[in-house]
Amino acid sequence: MPDAPRVGGITPFLKVAALADHAGLMLAPHFAMELHVHLAACYTREPWVEHFEWLEPLFNEKLETRDGRMIVPTRPGLGLTLSDRVAGWTAQASEVGGRA
């Protein structure tokens, strides 16, 4: 049950998926379906995804489901924008690569 955020992101997840495919294994990620719905759409051995509503307040958009299936967003990128509420949950802010 690899999860992209836990294995280092999309590229490491795709490497895990390639290894699983080579071994004939199914994948069943169960965290951050807003991200995994895209990965499941491109990996034939990921027959299901789980969705937890507790992440919904992070985003302005919600995953669309129809007939028991998640619909891959057609919006740019991952199809999500962060909610304004996220700023209130920020413990610390840092700027990386700022100009001198």
How does DSSP assign 43-55, residue by residue?
-TT-------GGG
Q: Is residue 92 part of a domain?
A: no
| Distance from C-alpha of 46 to C-alpha of 21, rounded to nearest angstrom | 10
Q: Is residue 58 part of a domain?
A: yes
Q: Is residue 95 part of a domain?
A: no
Q: Is residue 100 part of a domain?
A: no
pTM of the model: 0.74
Q: What is the tally of structural domains in the chain?
A: 1
Q: Name the residue range of residue 40's domain.
A: 4-84
The pLDDT tens digits of the residues spanning 18-68 come to 999 999 999 888 778 888 888 888 887 877 777 778 888 889 998 888 888
Q: Which tokens go with 22?
A: 């080579």
